[in-house]
Structure formats: structure tokens, C-alpha cells
Structure 1
Amino acid sequence: MAPTGLRWSHVGLNCTDQKTTEEFYTRYFGFSRARVVNLGDSEIVFLRRGDAYLELFAAGGTEPARPAHDDGPQAPGRMRHLAFQIDDVDAFLAGLGDAAEVTLGPLDFDDFICGWRTVWLRDPDGVIVEVSQGYEDDRSHDGSHDKDGA
């Protein structure tokens, strides 16, 4: 069973250029700066949109950047993509212009949900971002859990 008070917190992103990444998510996804934690030689930038937070770190280490393709990396232990819902994917893409590379789509999933449309794009640091319209939960699932919390 989930602990009392458990709720979603944030996704941490390693950024080649925190300012560029902040501008991308602020301009195209409606996030705004919520806090900056100064660590002396670096800082952590917190962006917020409603209850969703992104935590931006300056990238470090020597691991080579490997751009993700299509809908994101498929290797275990790697985040596949961030995902957002929007009212109109095509209008979003028109507003985005050349600010991000589309890696897959837009695709229509009308065979599953009438009006479900999705596109995947690459953010300034190579993270795949999914943007969808029209997704709805299957109403035959009421969200209840079995006795083990699964």
C-alpha cells in the first residue's frame, strides 16, 4: 500500500545549457521558474507548471551524449520520454516552428481512441518529449487496486 501523503514531485534533467533548457520549457510548455538553489559553482533551477516540476541540473561527467530517436531510449534504467497533453498537436507544432526536431509523428491513434494524436520531439539536450491530444483513460478501469496495492 502506498504511504499516506505520497505524491508526484519532479523529473530531474541534466542540461548542457540550463538557460536554453529553461527557455524551451518556459516558452513552449508554460513552465515558470519556481526556485533557484545556488550551490556555489553551480545551481539547480526548479520550473513549475501546476503540480508538475522540472529540476534542471548542469550536466556533468564524461558519459557521451547519445541522442534518443523516435519515442525515446528503450534501454532499461533510462527515462524513455517526458509527456504532456495539449488541446491541439498541430497548433502546438506550428507555434514551435524550428525550435525542436520532430523525431516521430505526428501519428493518429484513432483505432484506439477517436481523436488521439501524438508527436515526439527532441528538447535542447536530446530528451524526447511526447505531446498528445485526445488521450482518455479506459473507463472500464475504476482506478482501484487489489489488496497488495498493485
Structure 2
Amino acid sequence: MEDFVRRLHHVGVVVNELQASLDWYRDKLGFEHQYSFTLPGAQVAMLVRGEARLEIFQVEGAAPMASEREEMETLLKRGGVNHFALNVDDLEETIPALAAKGVEIVIPPSSVPNNSGDRFAYIRDNDRMLVELFQSAS
């Protein structure tokens, strides 16, 4: 029974405006809108790019993201999930391409401090949520 989890299937994100987020993830990161559905008080859409899946929710009466979640110094002091990471092939190509599309670069390409050769960068989505881009050395 120890090996029942295979991999992460998707990440759920509450957004301010469903269509704006659908457009942003499509236009900036190349996600495709797979399908939509409704739940009581919520509009939901599943986005996919390769094996990465995002389920985005526009929920009636949801509070906007707390300002503490916008800055790395305060984000890490809040409980719960603080970001999600997407694998990319080449950060040195990806980051300038995203910047040219108007994506805010929060942390430029940097090395993971474990001597693995892995690299990362952080961007913000249209709702100012942090998204990590990760390039594996292997």
C-alpha cells in the first residue's frame, strides 16, 4: 500500500475572474482549456499543458488573495500551499519570452542551492499568485 500515490494530478487555484485567468494561462503559458463545469456557487475550468493540470475556480464571495501571499518574505509565514511549480526545458529561453509577453518576473533564473544543477525562477500570474518555473539538470 505504500506505493499507491503515483504523481500529483492537478492543482486547484481560486481566481478573481475565470475568463481572465483562462486567457492568461493560455496566452502566457500555453495551457489549453480542457473542460468547464459548475459547482454550487462556483464556475470551474480544467486547464492542461502536457502532464500539468490546473483546476481554476471562480467562487461567489471569495476573498481576494491576501496581500501577505504576494511577497516571498511574508508568503512563507502563511500556512497552506504557497505556490506551484511547472517544469520547463530552458529557463534562459523561457524567462525572456515570458517577459516579452508582459509576465512579471519575480525571481530570475537561479540555481537550487543543493549543487544538483537544477534551476528555478518565479513569475506572477494575472492574480499575482507566485508560480515557480523549474528546470531539472537531469
- TM-score surpassing 0.5? yes
Q: Determine helix, strand or coil for the equivalent of 1:132.
A: strand
Does the CA-based 8 Å contact 2:16-2:64 persist in structure 1? no
Distance change >3 Å, CA 64–CA 39, structure 1 → 2: closer
- Is 1:29–2:32 an aligned residue pair? no
Q: Determine helix, strand or coil for the equivalent of 1:20.
A: helix
C-alpha displacement of 1:4: 4.5
Paired residue for 1:94? 96
Q: TM-score, normalised by structure 2?
A: 0.76
In 2: Cα distance, 1:106 partner to 1:75 partner: 23
Q: Determine helix, strand or coil for the equivalent of 1:94.
A: helix
Does the CA-based 8 Å contact 1:47-1:55 persist in structure 2? yes
C-alpha displacement of 1:38: 3.3
Distance change >3 Å, CA 80–CA 71, structure 1 → 2: farther
Q: CA RMSD in A?
A: 2.9
Q: Determine helix, strand or coil for the equivalent of 1:19.
A: helix
Distance change >3 Å, CA 51–CA 85, structure 1 → 2: closer
- Farther-moved stretch of structure 1 (31-40 vs 122-131): 31-40
Paired residue for 1:139? none
Pair member with larger Rg: 1
Q: Determine helix, strand or coil for the equivalent of 2:21.
A: helix
C-alpha displacement of 1:14: 0.8
- Is 1:47–2:47 an aligned residue pair? yes
The structure that is helix-richer by fraction is 2
What runs of 5+ residues in structure 2 fail to find an aligned partner?
A: none
Paired residue for 1:145? none
In 2: Cα distance, 1:62 partner to 1:70 partner: 20
In 2: Cα distance, 1:72 partner to 1:20 partner: 26
Paired residue for 2:127? 125
In 1: Cα distance, 2:27 partner to 2:65 partner: 28
Distance change >3 Å, CA 64–CA 56, structure 1 → 2: closer
Q: For residue 35 of structure 1, what is the amino acid of its counterpart?
A: Y
In 2: Cα distance, 1:42 partner to 1:95 partner: 33
What's the CA shift string for 1:35-74, capped at 9, x where partnerless? 1103486521111223332111114334663142248821
